[in-house]
Amino acid sequence: MAPISLSTPLMSLDGVVLDTETTGLNAATARVIQIGAIHFAASQLAAQRFETLVDPGVPIPPETTAVHGIRDTDVAGAGDFASVAEALATFVADRVVVGHTIGYDLTVLRREHALIGRPWRAPPALDVRMLARIAAPSLADYSLDRLCDWLGVTIRGRHTAIGDCVATAEVFFALLPALREKGVRTLAQAQAASRRLFEDEARASGALLGADPVTAQASAPMLRIDSFPYRHRIREVMSAPAATAEPETTVAEAVRILLERRISSLFVRGGDGQLGIVTERDVLRAIDSHGRDALERPLASLVVGPLQTVHVDAFVYRAIGRMTRLGFRHLGVRDDSGALVGAVTTRNLLAHRGTTAIVLGDEIDSAADAPALGVAWGKLGLMARSLVDEGVDPRTVCEVVSSELRAMTRRAARIAERRMAEAGLGPPPVPYALLVLGSGGRGESLLAPDQDNAIVYAHGEPGGPEDRWLETLATHVADILDEVGIPYCKGGVMGKNPAWRHSLAGWHQVIADWVRRRRPDDLLHIDIFFDGMPVHGDLALGESIRDHAIEHAADHPMFVNVLAELARRWTPPFTLLGRLRTGDDRLDLKLGGLMPLLSGARVLAVRHRMRERATPARLRAYAAAGKAASSDVEAIADAHQIILGTILRQQLADHETGLAPSNRVDIRKLERVERDALKTALRKIETLIDLVGEGRL
If pLDDT is split at 50, 70 and 90, which confidence band does 213 have? low
**Using alpha carbons only, what angle is made at residue 529 by residues 466 and 7, rounded to the nearest 5 degrees?**
90
The arrangement of strands across the sheet holding 265-269 comes to: 244-245, 265-269, 275-279
Q: Which residues pair with 309 in a beta bridge?
A: 332
Q: What percent of the chain has pLDDT over 90?
A: 55
Averaged pLDDT for residues 141-146: 92
How far apart CA 37 and CA 98 sit, in angstroms, is: 10
Residue 495 and residue 470 in contact, taking contact as beta carbons nearer than 8 Å: yes
Residue 353: CB atoms within 10 A of its CB come to 15
Long-range contacts of 218-222 (CB under 8 A, 24+ apart): 218/4, 218/6, 218/96, 218/124, 218/187, 218/188, 218/191, 219/6, 219/656, 220/5, 220/6, 220/381, 220/382, 220/385, 220/656, 221/3, 221/4, 221/5, 221/382
pLDDT-based confidence at residue 385 (cuts at 50, 70, 90) = confident
Which tens digit of pLDDT belongs to each residue from 76-120? 989 999 999 999 999 998 899 999 999 999 999 999 999 999 998
* Per-residue confidence band for 281, with pLDDT thresholds at 50, 70 and 90: confident
* Strands 32-41, 44-53: pairing kind: antiparallel
Q: Are strands 533-537 and 501-503 parallel, antiparallel or unpaired?
A: unpaired
* Beta partners for residue 268, in sequence order: 245, 276
490 CB-near residues (< 8 Å, 6+ apart): 450
Q: What pLDDT, on the 0 to 100 scale, is given for residue 221?
A: 46
Q: What is the pLDDT of residues 38-63, one digit of tens each?
A: 999 988 999 999 999 999 999 999 98
- For residues 91 and 16, the answer to whether their CB atoms sit within 8 Å is yes
Mean pLDDT of the residues in the chain: 88
Helices (H), ranges, 569-625: 589, 595-607, 615-624
Closest CA to 594 of 437, 384, 405, 439: 439
Task: Tell me what pLDDT residue 216 has.
Answer: 46
Q: Which amino acid is at 35?
A: I
- What ranges in 76-139 are assigned the alpha helix state H? 81-92, 102-115, 128-135
pLDDT at 352 over 80: no
**Helix H or strand E segment including 467:** helix 465-484
Identify the pLDDT of residue 392: 87
**Where does residue 588 rank: exposed (0-12), middle (13-18), buried (19+ CB within 10 A)?**
middle
Give the pLDDT confidence score for residue 450 in this predicted structure: 87
Q: Tell me the angle at which helices 630-656 and 380-389 cross, rounded to the nearest 10 degrees.
A: 120
Check the CA dihedral 419-422-423-427 and report its sign.
positive
Which residues 6+ apart lie within 8 Å of 159 measured at CB?
Answer: 21, 67, 68, 69
Quick check: 270 pLDDT over 80? Answer: no
Count of CB atoms situated within 10 Å of the CB of 178: 15
Three-state DSSP string of 445-465: CCCCCCCCEEEEECCCCCCCH
Confidence band of 510 (pLDDT split at 50, 70, 90): very high
389-435: pLDDT as tens digits: 878 899 999 999 999 999 999 999 999 999 999 999 999 999 999 99
- Give the integer Cα–Cα distance in Å for 419 and 429: 15
pLDDT band at 278 (very low <50, low <70, confident <90, very high): confident
Q: How many Å apart are CA 152 and CA 162, to the nearest integer? A: 19
Residue 212, pLDDT score: 52
Highest-confidence segment of 177-191, 343-357, 402-416:
402-416
Q: Which residues of 494-529 are buried (b: 16+ CB within 10 A; e: fewer)?
A: bbbbeebbbbbebbeebbeebbeeeebeebeebbbb
Which of the listed ranges 132-146, 265-279, 496-510, 644-658 does the model predict with the highest average pLDDT?
A: 496-510
Model pLDDT, residue 336: 84
Q: Is the dihedral of CA 416, 418, 423, 429 positive or negative?
A: positive
pLDDT above 80 for 488: yes
Look at the alpha carbons of 327, 328, 334, 339 in this order and tell me if their dihedral is positive or negative.
Answer: negative
Put simply, whether the predicted model's pTM sits higher than 0.85 gets the answer no
Q: Confidence class of residue 351 from pLDDT cuts 50, 70 and 90?
A: very low
Q: Give the span between the Cα atoms of 311 and 357, in whole angstroms.
A: 20
279 and 330 Cβ atoms separated by less than 8 Å: yes
* 507 contacts 528 by C-beta, under 8 angstroms: no
Q: What does the pLDDT average to over 675-697?
A: 87
One-letter amino acid of 248: E
Q: What is the pLDDT of residue 696?
A: 54
The residue among 520 and 185 whose pLDDT is bigger is 185
Q: Smallest Cα–Cα separation from 195: which of 650, 661, 658?
A: 658
pLDDT band at 317 (very low <50, low <70, confident <90, very high): confident
pLDDT band at 689 (very low <50, low <70, confident <90, very high): very high
Q: What is the pLDDT of residue 389?
A: 82
CB–CB of 694/479 below 8 Å?
Answer: no
User: In Å, how far are 238, 283, 315, 331, 488 from 307, measured between CA atoms?
Assistant: 16, 17, 19, 7, 36
582: pLDDT strictly greater than 80: no
Q: In the prediction, which pLDDT does 359 show?
A: 47
Please give the domain boundaries of the chain with CATH numbers for all domains.
10-205 (3.30.420.10), 228-344 (3.10.580.10), 355-550 (3.30.460.10), 556-697 (1.20.120)
Phi, psi dihedral angles at 310 (to 5 degrees): -140, 150
State the angle between helix axes of 370-378 and 465-484 in degrees (0 to 180), rounded to the nearest 10. Answer: 50
Q: Is the pLDDT of residue 314 over 80?
A: yes
